[in-house]
Chain A
Amino acid sequence: MFDNLSYKLDRAFKTLKGTGKITEINVATTVKEIRRALIDADVNYKVAKEVTDTIKSEALGRDVLISVSPGQLLVKITQEELTKLMGGTKEDISLKGDPNVILISGLQGSGKTTFSGKLATHLKKQGRQVLLVACDIYRPAAIEQLKTLGEQIGVEVYAEPENKNALDIANRAIEYAKKNGKKNVIVDTAGRLAVDEQMMNEISDLKKHLDPAETLFVVDSMTGQDAVNTAKTFDERLDFDGVVLTKLDGDTRGGAAISIRHVVDKPIKFISTGEKMENLDIFYPDRMAQRILGMGDVVSLVERA
């Protein structure tokens, strides 16, 4: 993909290769190619437009080195911009409150339950006491799924299989946690669509009453153009603290990461890279930017020049 983009950019610059500066005229076609590449990577159309406008003004007037092609330079600028956009420094989740409550939210099948297990594993490794809470009262065997994961990782799971009120279950789980010295409570919830008013009410009630230290929005990295709408609605209802990007072990380019960051301005705190409990990683904006651009080693190439 990158070879392709770099090639196209170079073609757009053909007449100017190795000469002078990037100008308004020669940058126009190029910016269009970059936009197309971003859209191909599932960056939202509007966001891609805004980003490429920034890139354009960034690029104008920059000197083109003899040893790098203008196309490569443009890709480098793009990569820098994308990295900046996705947030520079790494942000941890906050652990506070007694107990410290972490609320997990997201669409159906995005990877919430799996991530809940992974986060529990992560906290447990740090020597913390964790309780998992099964608040998905809808999906068949959702409770069983969380219990299975809990057993696998040696973390207790609080569930009330007969209870059909998620808030009720969560409240009692927190009491239970207090009594049993579980300082960290991870609340897994059912998948829901942003347009499902009733279900969105349920989770915003959970947020309001549990007052979690951390509310996370779990999103499938393969999501398309609609990621912006979903993220926006969830954020409006939950004012979440961070994003978890899942299924990055595949070959998705993951452009949704930029769209979401751009639209809600919340940090991406974890990435999920597999089905196993240890497949949890920290998010690196620069790597993500390279992935979105489908880049090989152009960055180092430009750096060496």
Chain B
Amino acid sequence: EKTSENLFSKLGKAVIGKSKVDDEVLDELEEILITSDVGVDTTIKVIQRIEERVARDKYVNTAELDKILRQEIVGLLEESNEEDLSNFELPKDKKPYVIMVVGVNGVGKTTTIGKLAHQFKNAGKSVVLGAADTFRAAAVDQLILWGERVDVPVVSHGMNADPASVAFDTVKKGVDMGADVVIVDTAGRLHTKVNLMNELSKIKRVMQKFIDDAPHEILLVLDGSTGQNAFIQAKEFTKATEINALAITKLDGTAKGGVVIGISDQFKIPVKYIGVGEKMTDLQIFNRTEFVDSLFKKKL
């Protein structure tokens, strides 16, 4: 167990010696949520909802706070998320299922692709990867090494090649070999760089020459230790391209994944995967209930 303190233990400390939820407890709660990177807007929303309950019920016991907060958080996650996935299944009518992975620099795109490939392979699927980050030093080598590690083929044209043509060839290879899933890596790009953002549309377009509804999934990877900029990233990438899934990485760090709550509240895009380490097995399908449980789990 690497994480030190979860929401529950912080909450426990906040209410020590208190019997009722008053302003002071709410202030503490605000601090807990903010310092977990839930984000200011969502924090205010949660606090307001609890304030309303306190006003309505007149007296709210601190012992109940845990339960109420859990309900509120589950509520936020439910409002905006689709059904949780239960395994690495793929839609039957989309073969190959094409995933394009995007995000800012260093968030964990390439690693997430390696882990996904491993999971799909374990689930009995055939996988092809495409090394369309032809820009970052040794990015192609990195994906090729992942391909070797998890034993799936990687399509590459080397460094400085045209990313769109790599994407095209990857989809082609996926079709040719009857693969179940094709995953295309892209270079990290800040959402403020217009040219680089436009490049994503180009990559997308060439894939559609082969499969008209490809890519079926555009997965935006967010670093779980990112602060408020994560919200801007989600907003700007969504504007630039049709993001329909999120992966949040590095949740094995000390940041408690509060960003998952904020992002789920502010965006209608489901969090599909979470990264919890650097090994190929360190990827989990995001499950609301489990996630909330982990936030409130009593430490032994």
Residues on A facing B (Cβ under 8 Å): 36, 39-42, 44-46, 107-111, 113, 138-142, 144-149, 152, 193-196, 220, 222-227, 229-230, 247, 249-253, 255-256, 275
Contacts and interface: CB of A to CB of B under 8 A. Distances in A.
A138 B139 CA distance: 15
User: Which 10 A-B pairs have CB atoms at the shortest separation, nearest pair first?
Assistant: A224-B227, A109-B106, A42-B227, A140-B145, A144-B138, A145-B138, A148-B137, A141-B141, A141-B142, A250-B190
Interface of B: 2-4, 31, 34-37, 40, 104-108, 114, 135-139, 141-142, 144-146, 149, 159, 190-192, 223, 225-230, 232, 250, 252-255, 259, 278
A145 B145 CA distance: 13
B254 A224 contact: no
A223 B2 contact: no
Contacts of A140: 114, 141-142, 145-146, 149
Q: Name the residue among A44, A223, A255 with the largest chain B CB count within 10 angstroms.
A: A223
Given A193-B2, A195-B2, A247-B105, A230 B254 contact: yes
Given A195-B2, A222-B226, A224-B255, A108 B250 contact: yes
A220 B144 CA distance: 26
23 contacts: A41-B228, A107-B253, A108-B108, A108-B250, A109-B223, A110-B106, A139-B142, A144-B142, A148-B137, A193-B254, A194-B253, A220-B225, A224-B227, A224-B228, A224-B230, A225-B227, A230-B253, A247-B105, A250-B191, A250-B192, A251-B229, A252-B229, A256-B227
A144 B141 contact: yes
B190 A249 contact: yes
Nearest to A249: B190
A115 to B, nearest CB: 12
A252 B136 CA distance: 21
Contacts of A226: 37, 225, 253-255
Contact of B228 (A45, A144, A253): A253
